[in-house]
Structure 1
């Protein structure tokens, strides 16, 4: 165990009664990977473990994990407002709207002025209609969309209504722009990036994404996954492991 993990003060957990665990999801881990790692570390306790709100594998940041009786509150946590930060690349697109698939170069973006880009954000504030990416985890006919997309199947996607309360650019160094967005449950930031570039006439894809907040929970208060797993393994032999 590293020194930082030894120095960290952990609360006394009661996993069976129920815990809300804040995890800083690592890059390229799926949300299920995090749940599986924690569930395995909690053996032989036979308790439920689930997450409140999926994060794409290429995203990082706050993942809320519930254990025991608190898994009944997952839907409540999942419905709360979310905050994200990230990077959008203008002047190129990808089929998945992020770096999961090949980048397709587009038009030059040097003509885009800072004031134009910032003003354009206002077009996406409020209740908007949004199509999910074809490479998403939504199920159609019992199968995840990304599986159909990988086989080259075309699926008629349905738009959904989402609410964006804040969308601002925090850095502009073309072709990249950094952003912060506050939005409702169900908002696809990949779709927001794609639509932002499409309406500018240059295309765009999401290069980086981090969930910083969900409701009142913040990533600043989250555990690193292996930091928590190592702690759980340590207390397994103690009487207060519950």
Structure 2
């Protein structure tokens, strides 16, 4: 009897803490790593918009099982918000829908407004988002000019700290739970101050246990892949649970 043994590739399991570069989508990073490493089972936890940088956990193999856990985990951001200009997308990439002069707004007024968003709040997501509305992505409907109204969702913002203020720009450190849109926070802050605002920059400092101090840049990951020792950079699958 002839015994035929099929060769199977060993699955690579783990989590790579990547510092996402600006201008790339989270899916761009996943697609790049799939191609570079040859691994098929790759996913990311906690989507970052193209304008954002910072911690993006990339999960391989069995690591994809903790994607939802990481997506729902607490996160820390450093958000740059421009007062005086509101946009359709709530960030700097959208068309302008409101302008106002924010020069008369004081630091005390900004801190008072921020305090109103701390704790468990109701937040309306941006219509330009990947959320689904009756089976279609919201951004697809918005780009097609189809009016949609999203319901507010309960989110948890445990800490909001004004890090700097050089009008029209303010920088805010945000610690929040999963599902929070910092773009919506920036927009809502502008509405509360009466001048409009949008998110002009965003850095994710932490996602669950993964910190930006330990995150690998794209060139660092690329060099490791070329050397063939990138697997040694992976965190254990259960590391987010410890």
TM-score strictly above 0.5: yes
| 3-state SS of paired residue (1:37) | helix
Following the alignment from structure 1 to structure 2, what is the Cα–Cα distance between the partners of residues 102 and 156?
A: 19
Following the alignment from structure 2 to structure 1, what is the Cα–Cα distance between the partners of residues 90 and 69?
A: 28
Q: Which residue of 1 aligns with 2:128?
A: 135
Structure 1 residue 30 and structure 2 residue 5: aligned?
no
Contact 2:187 2:198 in 1 (8 A): yes
Following the alignment from structure 1 to structure 2, what is the Cα–Cα distance between the partners of residues 226 and 41?
A: 12
Greater mean alpha carbon deviation, residues 102-111 or residues 143-152: 102-111
Output the TM-score relative to the length of structure 1. 0.87
| 3-state SS of paired residue (1:207) | strand
Contact 2:79 2:182 in 1 (8 A): no
Q: Structure 2 regions of 5+ residues with no counterpart?
A: 1-9, 233-242
Q: Which residue of 2 aligns with 1:107?
A: 100
1:226, CA displacement in angstroms? 3.3
Following the alignment from structure 1 to structure 2, what is the Cα–Cα distance between the partners of residues 31 and 140?
A: 21
Following the alignment from structure 1 to structure 2, what is the Cα–Cα distance between the partners of residues 124 and 156?
A: 21
Following the alignment from structure 2 to structure 1, what is the Cα–Cα distance between the partners of residues 12 and 35?
A: 18
Pick aligned residue for 2:115 from 92, 114, 122: 122
Q: Which residue of 2 aligns with 1:20?
A: 15
User: RMSD of aligned C-alpha atoms?
Assistant: 1.8
Following the alignment from structure 1 to structure 2, what is the Cα–Cα distance between the partners of residues 210 and 152?
A: 30
| 3-state SS of paired residue (2:116) | helix
Following the alignment from structure 2 to structure 1, what is the Cα–Cα distance between the partners of residues 44 and 190?
A: 31
Aligned length: 222
Instruction: Map Cα deviations across residues 110-168 of structure 1 (whole Å, 9 max, x no partner).
Output: 22111121122110000000011011111122221111111111112111000001111
Pick aligned residue for 1:56 from 35, 49, 52: 49
Following the alignment from structure 1 to structure 2, what is the Cα–Cα distance between the partners of residues 220 and 61?
A: 10
Contact 1:37 1:229 in 2 (8 A): no
Contact 1:91 1:202 in 2 (8 A): yes
Q: Structure 1 regions of 5+ residues with no counterpart?
A: 1-14
Pick aligned residue for 2:65 from 72, 76, 79: 72
Following the alignment from structure 1 to structure 2, what is the Cα–Cα distance between the partners of residues 172 and 42?
A: 43
Following the alignment from structure 1 to structure 2, what is the Cα–Cα distance between the partners of residues 152 and 187?
A: 25
Contact 1:128 1:162 in 2 (8 A): yes
